Amino acid sequence: MQLEESYPETLVDFWQKSAWKISKYSFAKSLILDPPSTNAVDLLPNSQEQKITAQNNSEPEFENKEVVDPFSKSAGGQLNIKLTDSNSSRSFGLGTIISYPDALNGPTRQSLDVPQQETGLASISIAGRLRQNLGNNNSILLEGILDPKRYGLDLRYGNLAPFLPGAFAANIYSSSGRIPVYENGEEDVDLPNGDVPWVIRFGGGLQYVQPLSKKLDGALGVNYQIVSVRDAAFTNNIETKDELGNSFTFSDDGQDTLLTIDAALLFDDTDNPNDPNRGSRLRFGSSQSIPIGDAQIGYNRLSASFSQFIPLNLFGFSEGPRTLILNLQGGAFIGDVPSYQAFNLGGTQTIRGFEKGEVSASRSFVKATAEYRFPITELRLLKQDVELGGTLFVDYGNDLATADGVSGNPAGVRDKFGDALGYGLGLSAKSLIGRMRLEFGFNNEGSNHFHFTFGDRF
């Protein structure tokens, strides 16, 4: 039996919601204590709400700003804690305020196929942010993450475009981390010196995000990064191959240069963006690389996730929503597949009952989930109302026999399963500061796994 703890990119997550009014799209979702939305315009870091109106087809104008409550839920019900006053031009908090859709890369960014990064129980993630409001709709945001398996800093500048219904953002980042691609197989394959591979990334990007309709948000960006594999988090020792002679990178010198055009879309037709009981949600992402540098890497990485939320009164032990959630995900590479960019299967956010990345690292994949959520009771803890609920779930994933299409075949040499079934039950605790999940999963290989997670997976 194994125990796993994971965090939604970080230990905690906080989100400040910008409330917009755009007459063309009727796009307005303001809040004081209500959960913020996942709309693209919310991606601009700002300590105050801003409203936009469009009158007689004229350019949008900015109205008076409103102060957001210092404790508010973020998209997905993730844990949020703000440590400074909302009225301050400078603020500090725990977690990231970046949410999907987002077309920038970085250590605190969410990935579509694995929405929330996972770490083992021994890896206690600590993440924080410092935001400075520069005035005139300009902000600077510094985010950092720290745990024994992952380190990263991300500096972001945001500008609320005065003549457009969206926002611009640019960032520069550096990260070091161990990734599931090179771990958790039936066979251990490390570096020639016996150390575990660390993936080092340095890069930056520019994006524009805006609402495309009342229920559809989009982001478009361009990203540049340099990727290498090393034998520790902070070292100059670049490793080009594993102990079996399989290459980590396309470049002979062990450093790949990637230039990509990235797009992200979010369609949300749910009754509650943070805790849906009915409706549907679609996420789509595309990353098109432009061959540059010695490696000349060219690919298009496509991924999509569709969730349907259905009210279904099967059983429960107290008042509250009973929801059946059906989720289907898929992804595929067209062109080259660097191993450090491959799709991962296994873990809290993909196939429960397995360690992260234990099932596969592949060129393509499909994954399906059925989950039933029901209320158990309500508690009062630390002056907070806590809703305790239960879950029953089944996860299935398959790499479509494409693991050998990844450069170096990391799943094949580590004897990963390729396809797997996980099932089990869990508890969730939901309060004003977010959602916590404790899940016990079994798998078709005869083993089991505990998962402890902050945030949601749909």
pLDDT tens digits, one per residue of 439-451: 999 999 999 999 8
DSSP letter at 104 equals -
Q: Is 450 within 8 Å of 2 (Cβ atoms)? A: yes
Pick the range with the lowest mean pLDDT from 33-42, 196-205, 283-292, 389-398. Answer: 33-42
> For residues 422 and 356, what is the distance between their CA atoms, to the nearest angstrom?
13
Least Cα distance to 98 among 143, 134, 139 occurs for: 143
- Report residue 85's pLDDT band, with 50, 70 and 90 as the boundaries: low
> For residues 172 and 158, what is the distance between their CA atoms, to the nearest angstrom?
12
Mean pLDDT of 361-371: 97
| Tokens coding 329 | 């995900």
| Tokens coding 352 | 């429960």
Domain range 2-454, CATH class: mainly beta
- Report residue 436's pLDDT band, with 50, 70 and 90 as the boundaries: confident
Pick the range with the lowest mean pLDDT from 19-28, 79-88, 93-102, 173-182. Answer: 19-28
Least Cα distance to 211 among 72, 44, 13, 15 occurs for: 44
Report the mean per-residue pLDDT for the chain: 80
- Report residue 381's pLDDT band, with 50, 70 and 90 as the boundaries: confident
Q: Is 390 within 8 Å of 427 (Cβ atoms)? A: yes
Which sign does the torsion angle of CA 397, 351, 302, 199 carry? negative
What does the pLDDT read at residue 232?
Answer: 93
HSE-up (13 A, CA, CB side) for residue 146: 7
> For residues 231 and 84, what is the distance between their CA atoms, to the nearest angstrom?
39
- Report residue 63's pLDDT band, with 50, 70 and 90 as the boundaries: very low
* Predicted TM-score (pTM) of this structure: 0.80
Where do the structural domains in the chain lie, given as residue ranges? 2-454
Query: Three-state SS for 180?
Result: helix
- Report residue 134's pLDDT band, with 50, 70 and 90 as the boundaries: confident
| Tokens coding 5 | 């703890």
> For residues 430 and 442, what is the distance between their CA atoms, to the nearest angstrom?
24
Q: Cβ–Cβ contacts within 10 Å for residue 356, how many? A: 26
CA distances from 148 to 145, 154, 176, 303 (A): 10, 18, 10, 29
DSSP letter at 225 equals E
DSSP alpha helix (H) spans, 16-145: none
Least Cα distance to 411 among 364, 351, 349 occurs for: 364
Mean pLDDT of 72-81: 43
- Report residue 82's pLDDT band, with 50, 70 and 90 as the boundaries: low
What does the pLDDT read at residue 194?
Answer: 94
| Tokens coding 257 | 């240069």
Cβ neighbourhood burial of 113 (10 Å; 0-12, 13-18, 19+)? buried
Angle ∠(349,34,116) on CA atoms, nearest 5 = 15
What does the pLDDT read at residue 124?
Answer: 54
Per DSSP, what are the bridge partners of residue 62? 52
Q: Which residue has the higher pLDDT, 187 or 71?
A: 187
